């Protein structure tokens, strides 16, 4: 067990999870979206996109949203049209100022293995 008690005001937590897509995932997203017109998406189109992304194992996130944007699509709009609920979709990525917030000086936590 590792236990950390106390903290300094200059410390922060920075996520280590990569949100970018691999080149293979980017190619898959490109292939999926190439069959659709971003200006006239239907609910069925959006559901098909979501289903294909799930089948390919591509998770929602900033990398996927960026790939959509590069191809002229709005990931939020596709999710909304497909009826993806907030329980299925992660929240949008934090803004730059939110991603590295300092913990309060009196914070405590413990890590147990």
Q: What is the pLDDT of residues 55-75, one digit of tens each?
A: 999 988 999 999 999 999 999
The pLDDT, as a whole number, for residue 106 is: 78
> What is the pTM assigned to this prediction?
0.60
Instruction: Write down the domain spans for the chain.
Output: 42-87
CA torsion 82-79-84-93 (nearest 10°) is: 180
Task: Tally Cβ neighbours within 10 Å of residue 49.
Answer: 23
- The CA–CA distances, whole Å, from 106 to 13, 30, 98, 111 equal 15, 47, 20, 17
């Amino acid at each position: 067990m590792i236990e950390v008690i106390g903290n300094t005001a200059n410390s922060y937590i920075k996520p280590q999870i990569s949100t970018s897509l691999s080149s293979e995932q980017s190619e898959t997203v490109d292939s999926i979206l190439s069959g659709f017109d971003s200006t006239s998406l239907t609910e069925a189109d959006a559901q098909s996109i979501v289903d294909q992304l799930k089948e390919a194992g591509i998770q929602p996130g900033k990398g996927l949203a960026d790939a959509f944007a590069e191809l002229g699509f709005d990931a939020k709009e596709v999710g909304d049209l497909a009826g993806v609920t907030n329980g299925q979709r992660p929240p949008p990525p934090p803004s730059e100022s939110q991603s590295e917030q300092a913990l309060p000086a009196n914070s405590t936590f413990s890590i147990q293995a």
